[in-house]
Chain A
Amino acid sequence: MSDNPIVIVGAGQAGLQLADSLRRGGYDGKLLLVGEESSLPYQRPPLSKQYLAGDMADERLLFRPQEFYAKKNIDVIVGAVVRDIKPSKKTVTIGEETIEYSQLALTTGAAVRRLPVAGADGDGVFYLRSLEDAQKIKERLSSGSCRVVAVGGGFIGLEIAAAARELGQAVTVVEAQERLMARVVAPQVSDYYLNLHTSHGVDVRLNAGVREIERTSDQDMSVVLDDDRRIATDIVVVGIGSIPRTELAEAAGLACDNGIVVNEYAQTSDPSIVAAGDCTMHRNVRNDASLRLESVQNAVDQSKIAAANLLGERKPYDQVPWFWSDQFEAKLQMVGTSAGHDRTVLRGSLEDHAFSNFYFRNEQLIGVDSVNRPADHIVSRKLIAAGVAVPESIVVDVAANLKSLL
């Protein structure tokens, strides 16, 4: 093996996992992890949840303390911009310095999608991706009365809405589609969350497109909707999805298509380069089509696959995807997918705020959305992975143990 380091570009959850998995997998050569942000790798999920609403110190967000990197002999460069990758020469340019790599991993993540309307780049309009973004929003939410309009009724917009309500702020959610979290959950679950937010005093506007963000004076701003209605506010938080960070990969000539294209072994179109996490358009042997996932699960599991394959183990990506979202007292956990289901079976009760929707296609369990029933979620991951038959009689009977099916 060459004396040059394995270089990991991107120091988020995927980058950290890749580095850790390489060491755990027995790689003892040079290892360099390069991140754009100034912090060591940290957890993003709490940024829109307990970090925003609570008193969580920044250091508690770190995945690992500084000493971990020294102990594992992982060189970390933070606050550094990778300018260029030359696969033909196997070089990467970090700031002004060009170094040679033995193998390269891209874990560049995603960037927020900007709201493409007039006024969306001015003061008082916030996006949430980084710790720095969260700090700015938190400062506004926790210093006196602050009206909030969340643009986007997906995970990020709704989690921020819930956190802001918990801090006593007046909150409006503006969603362009006819239901909340439409991309990820089935209609019944969207309805439940509409009621949840409404009952906590959030003003939810569905089928509402944003035309402009208007500033009438230094302090006063309004979100102008497509139908001319205006919502006066102090801040706007936009959560309308993200765009994979493919610019380096594209410039390097790697195949990209709404993400860095990787096969089931997390390999890009260059055999010396792997990619993992939010930035990839990937193959999972469970699916017919390629997909892009922005989640902790994908960052962790795909990075393990990428690391194994850098170490010469040929291991395909076959994990069942899962996600979660915390909003008010409701813990939403999703596994698999509800897309394409032909039958839904309910376990538990919506009135008790503890239920799971089981989705079937051709009698096969393909996904489960759970609210405040984490045990259903954990077992369902295994049920879907194993592909076992799941009888409706067991699902509807909350006294019946799902685990017995395994």
Chain B
Amino acid sequence: MPKVNYVSHDGETQTVEVPIGWSVMEGAIQNDVSGIVAECGGGCACATCHVFVDPEWVAKVGERSSMEQDMLECTAQESTEQSRLSCQIKISEDCDGLVVRMPEQQT
């Protein structure tokens, strides 16, 4: 199972296995990784599962949809080129070792 590294705002890393087909957000919620709120449960509707994907992984996790792009304009912490909504990143075999960093604030 691919391993995903969730790095908290304080720099603490939690590494968890996430099943293929799940989202990066679900991997966090199901393993009690704090720093991802996901109040809409994964509908690309709330912008509270914002993460920064480490540069070397940006291409591997795929592209933002136009709706996700719009949502990233509204995150609690300013988004960057590395920003994604973690509910929109689906885990594939290519994601083994993925590193995502959580913002200080989600709401």
Contact = CB atoms under 8 A, between A and B. Distances in A.
Interface string B51-71: 000000000000000010011
A62 interface: yes
A114 to B, nearest CB: 28
A60 B73 CA distance: 28
Given A65-B30, A65-B32, A374-B45, 8 more contacts: A60-B22, A62-B30, A331-B67, A372-B67, A375-B71, A375-B74, A377-B45, A378-B47
Contacts of A46: 41
Contact of B74 (A43, A300, A331, A378): A378
Contacts of B102: none
A403 B44 contact: no
Contacts of A83: none
A296 interface: yes
Contacts of B46: 374, 378
B40 interface: yes
Contacts of B47: 374, 378
Contacts of A159: none
Contacts of A65: 30-32
B26 to A, nearest CB: 6
A5 B71 CA distance: 41
Contacts of A62: 30
A176 to B, nearest CB: 29
A14 to B, nearest CB: 13
B70 to A, nearest CB: 4
Interface string A13-46: 0000000000000000000000000000001011
B8 to A, nearest CB: 15
Most buried by B among A65, A67, A375: A375
Nearest to B75: A378
Interface in B28-47: 29-32, 39-41, 43-47
Contacts of A401: 73
A180 to B, nearest CB: 20
A373 interface: yes
A192 interface: no
A202 to B, nearest CB: 22
Q: Is the interface of B mostly helix, strand, loop or mixed?
A: loop
A68 to B, nearest CB: 5
Query: Which 5 A/B pairs are nearest by Cβ-Cβ distance?
Result: A375-B70, A378-B74, A68-B32, A375-B74, A43-B41
Contacts of A375: 70-71, 73-74
A64 B30 contact: yes
Most buried by B among A68, A326, A333, A378: A378
Nearest to B30: A65
Given A331-B45, A333-B45, A60 B26 contact: yes
Interface in A328-381: 331, 333, 372-375, 377-379
A63 B70 CA distance: 27
A67 B32 CA distance: 9
B74 A379 contact: yes
Contact of A374 (B22, B29, B30, B44): B44
A46 B32 CA distance: 20
Interface string A55-79: 0000010111101100100000000
Nearest to A375: B70
Given A372-B67, A375-B71, A45 B45 contact: no
Contacts of B40: 296, 324
Contacts of B73: 375, 401, 403
Contacts of A300: 39
B32 A374 contact: no
B71 A374 contact: yes
Contact of A324 (B26, B45, B67): B45
16 contacts: A45-B41, A46-B41, A60-B22, A67-B32, A71-B32, A296-B39, A326-B43, A331-B45, A331-B67, A333-B45, A374-B44, A374-B45, A375-B70, A375-B71, A375-B74, A403-B74
A68 B73 CA distance: 33
Contacts of B67: 331, 372, 374
Contacts of A297: 39
Nearest to B40: A324
A374 B70 contact: yes
